[in-house]
Amino acid sequence: MKSAPFDYHRPSTVDEALALKDELGGDARILAGGQSLMPLMHFRLATPAHLIDVNQLDDLDYVRRSNGYLAIGARTRLQFVLTSAEAASAAPLLVEAIGWVGHVQIRHRGTVVGSVAHADPSAEIPTVVLALGGSMVARSTTGEREIMADDFFKGPFSTALADDEILTEVRVPVWPDGTGSAWLEFSRIYHGFPVVGVGAVVRLHDGVVDRAAIGMCGMAYNAITAPVDALLGREPTPEVIAEAAEAAVAGLDPPGDIHGSGPYRVRVGRACTLRALTAAVAAAGGK
């Protein structure tokens, strides 16, 4: 299984990369970790005429916390974020989810930003970024814009990035003190891709949920957020959590495949949501 031929470009600066993307447009794909793109190319499901390799762009290798969010640059490896104390304190849900992504070898090359740009509907990282209310920084030769997660993920493998844009940074807002989170996924084999994945974040204030978010993958055509009204303003008792889990999957009609039918995914989604919420509440200092 060999990839089709392509022209390869290795810019040494971000500006060079942007210039290339501007010139080549939709005929060029960005090669970062390659852990998602190369398998597609080996199956010839992706046959880009050009690859722009961003692995030389040291300027884009960072994890930094500023202005209430955690910013991750495009060249930052999953394994680096996984072991970053900064990331663990600022965005524990993201770090926890990364721990479920493939295996060490994959995480040594794969990138957070690459995963977001790839927008696999079954992947952990886009789901978490969506749940946390993150945003994406897209740059082109003409400037830069910040795209909120809700607007960024258009559909399976489809984002709001324009043909002349490169995703250079992913931002995940830091939730306030009193927040607990948990990522739970159901896969057939250990760290196989998730059949269903749920990320839950809950912030408690005086024992009551004053902020919450739930993100899910494997429950619709794309990653989605689930309603949290059943939690807000209430003490997160097991009954309340169960109600919230039920509400999270109510009305969902997940597309089925060999790994799980729609009804099965609803059942598993409900169970994972319940467990993720329970763990998030515990992490937040609740019971």
Partner 1 sequence: MTVPAVRDHSKETTWVGKSIRRIEDPKFLRGKGGYIADRVLPGMLHVALVKSPYAHARITSVDVESARQVPGVVVIVTGAEAAELCDRLPDFGPDPSKHTWRVLAHEKVRYVGEGVVAVVAESRYIAEDAASLVYVDYEELPPIVDPEEALKPGSPLVHEALGSNVAYERTFVFGDVDAAFAAADVVVEDRLYWGRSGSQPIEPVGAIASYDTGSGQMTIWENSLSFTSYLFMLAGTLKIPSNRLDVHPVPAGGSFGSKLWAVKPAAIAGMLSKLTGRPVMYMEDRHDALANNDHSGSDRIFYVKLGLTRDGVLTGIKLHAIEDYGAYIQFGVGHHGNALAQVTGPYRISAVEYGLQAVLTNKNQQGAYRGFGSEVNNWMLERMVDLAARELGMDRREIRRKNFIRPEEFPYFIPTGNVYDSGDYEPVLDKALEMAGWDTWQAEKARLRTEGRYIGLGLVSCQERSVFSATEFWFWFDEPGAPVTSMPESVTLDVDALGNITATLYSCAFWGNSPETMTAQLVAEEFDVDPAMVSVVYAGTGQGLPATGPGGSRFTVMIAGAVEGASRKIKDKAFRIAGHLLEASVDDLEWNDGGIQVKGSPGIRKTLGEVAIMAHLFKHALPDDIESGLEASHVYDHPYTTMPSPDRKDLGVFYPFMGHACHVCVVEVDPETGKVDFLDYVAVHDCGTMVNPRSLEGHMIGGTAQGIGSALLEEFVYDESGNFQSGNLLNYQIPTSMDVPHVKCGHYETPSPYTPYGIKGGGEGGRMMAPGAIFSAIDDALDAFGVRMRHLPATPERIVEAIEEAQR
Partner 2 sequence: MNLKITVNGTTYERDLDPRLALVDFLRDDLGLAGTHIGCEQGVCGACTVLVDGTSVLSCLMLAIQAEGSEVSTVESLASGSELHPLQEAFWEKQGLQCGFCTPGMLMRAMEILDHNPRPTADEVREAIAGNLCRCTGYQFIIESILDAADRMMDDPVEGALRQGLKVGTI
Tell me the C-alpha to C-alpha distance, in Å, between residue 50 and each of 27, 100, 238: 6, 31, 53
Residue 76 to residue 96: CA distance in whole angstroms: 16
Query: In this structure, what token pair is assigned to residue 40?
Result: 């597609």
Min. distance of Cβ 101 from partner 2 in angstroms? 11
CB 64 within 8 Å of CB 91: no
| Partner in contact with 193, chosen from partner 1, partner 2, none, beta carbon below 5 to 8 Å by kind | partner 1
Question: Does residue 186 touch partner 1 according to CB under 8 A?
Answer: yes
Question: Does residue 106 touch partner 1 according to CB under 8 A?
Answer: no
CB 69 within 8 Å of CB 174: yes
What strands lie across the sheet with 179-186, from one edge to the other?
179-186, 196-205, 208-217, 224-226
Question: Which of 5, 143 has the CB closer to partner 2?
Answer: 5
Contacts of 158 (CB under 8 A, 6+ apart): 119
Using CB under 8 A, which of 46, 106, 240, 282 touches partner 2?
Answer: 106
- Per-residue binder mask for partner 2 (CB under 8 A), 189-218, x = binder: -xx---------------------------
DSSP letter assigned to residue 152: H
| Partner in contact with 286, chosen from partner 1, partner 2, none, beta carbon below 5 to 8 Å by kind | none
Query: In this structure, what token pair is assigned to residue 166?
Result: 């490169």
CB atoms within 10 A of CB 15: 11
Site stretch for partner 1 (CB under 8 A), options 17-25, 141-149, 152-160, 189-197:
189-197
Site stretch for partner 1 (CB under 8 A), options 28-36, 85-93, 106-114, 184-192:
184-192
- Per-residue binder mask for partner 2 (CB under 8 A), 52-81, x = binder: -x-x--------------------------
Q: Which residues bind partner 2 (CB under 8 A)?
A: 1-8, 10, 31, 34-35, 38-39, 42-43, 51, 53, 55, 102-106, 108-109, 190-191
